[in-house]
């Protein structure tokens, strides 16, 4: 029992279960096999992006461009499959595009020492503009059924998109906890000065982190496009960056870097999905969904600040 209490993700998991029970009592349609499957399917897009965002936040950064990366990748992949390109090949091309977007972010941040938030704010507009220009402002739709399989198909009675999230989660859990690269991310995010003295290549690591974020977002873009069946470049993925950041922070990651776990992030994504779905089934206004996201985000930041204050106080330091 004492071992269970030490698990950092227990509080957020318990809170998620409480919210689940609350919405189950408010709506008879909430606790059904179909709706639970819908929640899991809808959270895959956010979940994949959140894994990349976790790595960025662990490093002490932030990525505001993920929604626009989703739009540009979704647009390009959608136009490719409509042009007759094999869906798998189109998805792989999308993966490359996502990696390039991440590399662009990483390059400007590391080469010119521009703050992450400023760089990704700029590229958020750049990538969105590219998506609109490529599509000509038109809807990209009428995808072949073979492409829709990514977002609507199932394998062993489990949606393919959920399988992709599970696979990505396992891979990046291993990367973060069992590899030198993962330990380097935690070390640099926790104390960049000490990491630099230890000989760690901070700029190279940050570049790779942003490339990983771009690639994970591109996978999410393929699922998004194939699940919905269309892509509108000007609106696709708009605002998803704030939902993802809220999920990562409420899952236990620190906005100051160096603290956070992948299981906690996935639980945070699940919580956001449950709240959004529950509010919709409860016939709440769409504005309440945005308000809930904002409230969770500010709550997570407050918790981050309090935890950091306590940590610094316990070490005899002062919060700057």
- On the 0-12 / 13-18 / 19+ scale of CB atoms within 10 A, 52 is buried
Q: Which helix (H) or strand (E) holds 231?
A: strand 230-231
Read off the tokens for 53: 């965002």
Buried b (16+ CB within 10 A) or exposed e, 295-311: ebbeebbeebeeeeeee
pLDDT digits (tens, 9 = 90+) for 118-145: 999 999 999 999 999 999 989 998 898 8
Left (φ > 0), alpha (ψ -120 to 50) or beta: where does 258 sit?
A: left
pLDDT top residue among 286 and 237: 237
Q: Report d(CA 190, CA 182) in Å as an integer.
A: 12
Model confidence band, residue 312 (pLDDT cutoffs 50, 70, 90): low
Q: What is the pTM of this model?
A: 0.90
CA angle 274, 280, 286 (to 5 degrees): 115
Inform me whether the pLDDT recorded for 91 exceeds 60: yes
pLDDT at 4: 46
Q: Do residues 161 and 147 touch, judged by C-beta distance below 8 A?
A: no
> Among 242, 305, 237, which residue's Cα sits nearest to residue 272?
242
Read off the tokens for 205: 């690591």
pLDDT at 209: 96
For tokens 């393929």, what's the residue? 222
How many residues would you count in the chain?
320
Q: Report d(CA 163, CA 170) in Å as an integer.
A: 11
pLDDT at 22: 86
Mean pLDDT throughout 280-300?
A: 78
């Amino acid at each position: 029992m004492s071992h269970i209490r030490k698990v950092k993700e227990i509080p957020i998991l318990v809170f998620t279960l409480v919210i689940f029970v609350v919405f189950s009592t408010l709506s008879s349609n909430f606790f059904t096999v179909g709706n639970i499957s819908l929640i899991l399917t809808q959270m895959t897009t956010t979940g994949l992006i959140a894994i990349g965002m976790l790595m960025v936040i662990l490093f002490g950064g932030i990525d505001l461009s993920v929604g626009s990366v989703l739009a540009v990748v979704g647009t390009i992949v959608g136009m490719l499959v409509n042009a007759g390109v094999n869906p798998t090949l189109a998805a792989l091309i999308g993966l490359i595009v996502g990696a390039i977007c991440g590399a662009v972010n990483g390059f400007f941040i590391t080469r010119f020492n521009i703050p992450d938030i400023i760089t990704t704010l700029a590229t958020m507009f750049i990538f969105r503009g590219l998506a609109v220009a490529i599509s000509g402002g038109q809807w990209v739709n009428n995808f072949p059924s073979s492409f829709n399989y990514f977002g609507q198909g199932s394998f062993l009675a489990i949606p393919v998109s959920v399988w992709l999230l599970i696979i990505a989660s396992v891979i990046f859990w291993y990367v973060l906890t069992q590899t030198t690269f993962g330990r380097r991310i935690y070390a640099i995010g926790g104390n960049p000065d000490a990491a630099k003295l230890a000989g760690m290549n901070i700029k190279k690591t940050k570049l790779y982190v942003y490339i990983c974020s771009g690639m994970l977002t591109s996978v999410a873009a393929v699922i998004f496009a194939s699940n919905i069946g269309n892509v509108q470049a000007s609106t696709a993925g708009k605002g998803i960056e704030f939902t993802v950041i809220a999920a990562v922070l409420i899952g236990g990651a620190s906005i100051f870097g160096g603290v956070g776990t992948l299981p906690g992030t996935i639980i945070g994504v699940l919580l956001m999905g449950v709240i959004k779905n529950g509010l919709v089934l409860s016939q709440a206004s769409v504005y309440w969904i945005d308000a809930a996201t904002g409230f969770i985000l500010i709550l997570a930041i407050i918790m981050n600040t309090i935890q950091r204050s306590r940590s610094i106080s316990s070490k005899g330091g002062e919060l700057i």
